[in-house]
Amino acid sequence: MGKLPSELAYVPFVSVENMMKNLNSYGVEEFMVGIAKYIEEDFLRWESFDKKPRIPAHAPQGVIELMPTDDGETFGFKYVNGHPDNTKEGRQTVTGFGVLSELSTGYPVLFTEMTILTALRTAANSALAAKYLAPKGSKTMAIIGNGAQSDFQCLAFKSMVGITEIRAYDIDPEASIRLARNLANSGLNITICKTPEDAIEGAQIITTVTADKKYATILTDNMVGSGVHINAIGGDCPGKTELHKDILLRSDIFVEYPEQTFIEGEIQQLSEDHPVTELWQVYAGKAAGRTSDEQITLFDSVGFAIEDFSALRFVRDLLPKTGYFEKLDLLADPDDPRDLFGMVLRSRDAGNGAVA
């Protein structure tokens, strides 16, 4: 436990170990509810942010992306990758880290892991959208794709939407067994299903969260009836989709940032003049969300920098309460700001870093 450092040379750093300590001390579900609150706050001031699609570096195996934004006072960015075949080598499909900085000085005020934090903010963002878009009184959610993100999605929908029943399907049955085992004491009733069709039977919400970097059809048109909410979060880069195009044509589509979603989301299958609604407008009461019992609502989620900014703000504000962070010696801080080389000389003379 400790206080945030005031020394200019040090930046609060949240390692994976300390992120887990923060998470467990606060509570997983409470943590996601907190992130969702910050996301909603930031979406309500959407127009104050500098917005741009993320910056990708693509390879056959996956993608590395930088996701920057600022609100005129604070700058934030996330480094994140997506490599579906990593799990074959015992690596995570998605990893990340993030930074918050003062725009006025350029000095970072937070450096943190974002592999765990991205899973938390993605689930929080999904559940927040569903509060506005899902059928009222929804109790059953199908989740197709039971990998690393699925546990968080289930818990976020339990806490924020009131889901009690989970119908789980994955092409690897062991993934569904793992999900059921992890959530055994969560208060959710988990049913492992043998087919996607079985999973969506009776579900008011359908979450697709698969990882393959390819045009895929996880849901065909005849699988989706009227009145459901689809939370499509697996398609998040060019050439990667989960839904048949005909589902999109029957749905009212909600997105984070159209300029990015038309490149990376399910709607890359449509022309760029196809009507979509930006979520911030729904939160602000400037656009309608769910308007009828028969309506199919689709949240075409690809993840946007403002959501990461919100998650970083939440963690920054949490640290003084938990103290679970380290003081990272990240910034050079010479006695005279104009004499950086003098700092090097003094270090040499003091015997620091000498090589025999």
All structural domains of the chain with their residue ranges: 10-116+307-349, 135-303
The pTM for the full model equals 0.92
- The pLDDT of residue 216 is 77
DSSP 296-355: PEEEE----HHHHHHHHHHHHHHHHHH---EEEE-S---SSTT-HHHHHHHHHHTTTT--
CA 292 to chain centroid: 28
Lowest mean pLDDT among 35-39, 73-77, 241-245: 241-245
| CA dist 169 → 30, 148, 149, 150, 296 (Å) | 26, 14, 14, 11, 21
- CA-CA distance, 305 to 256, in Å (whole number)? 10
281-312: pLDDT as tens digits: 999 999 999 999 999 999 999 999 999 999 99
- The pLDDT of residue 177 is 98
Q: Kindly state the percentage of the chain with pLDDT values over 90.
A: 79
Dihedrals φ, ψ of 171, to 5°?
Answer: -65, -20
| 107 confidence band (pLDDT: 50, 70, 90) | very high
Mean pLDDT confidence for 48-57: 94
| 31 confidence band (pLDDT: 50, 70, 90) | very high
- Top mean pLDDT of 5-19, 132-146, 230-244 is at 132-146
Could you please state the CATH topology (level 3) that the domain comprising 10-116+307-349 is classified under.
ornithine cyclodeaminase, domain 1 (3.30.1780)
Which one of the listed residues 151, 236, 300, 308 is annotated catalytic? 236
169-196: pLDDT as tens digits: 999 999 999 999 999 999 999 999 999 9
- What's the CATH architecture for 135-303? 3-Layer(aba) Sandwich (3.40)
- CA-CA distance, 53 to 51, in Å (whole number)? 7
pLDDT score of 155 more than 70 = yes
Mean pLDDT confidence for 115-138: 97
Write out the two tokens for 238: 């060019």
Lowest mean pLDDT among 9-23, 154-168, 253-267, 341-355: 341-355
236: annotated active-site residue:
yes
313-341: pLDDT as tens digits: 999 999 999 999 999 988 888 888 898 89
- The pLDDT of residue 346 is 85
pLDDT score of 353 more than 60 = no
- The pLDDT of residue 20 is 97
pLDDT score of 1 more than 70 = no
| 351 confidence band (pLDDT: 50, 70, 90) | confident
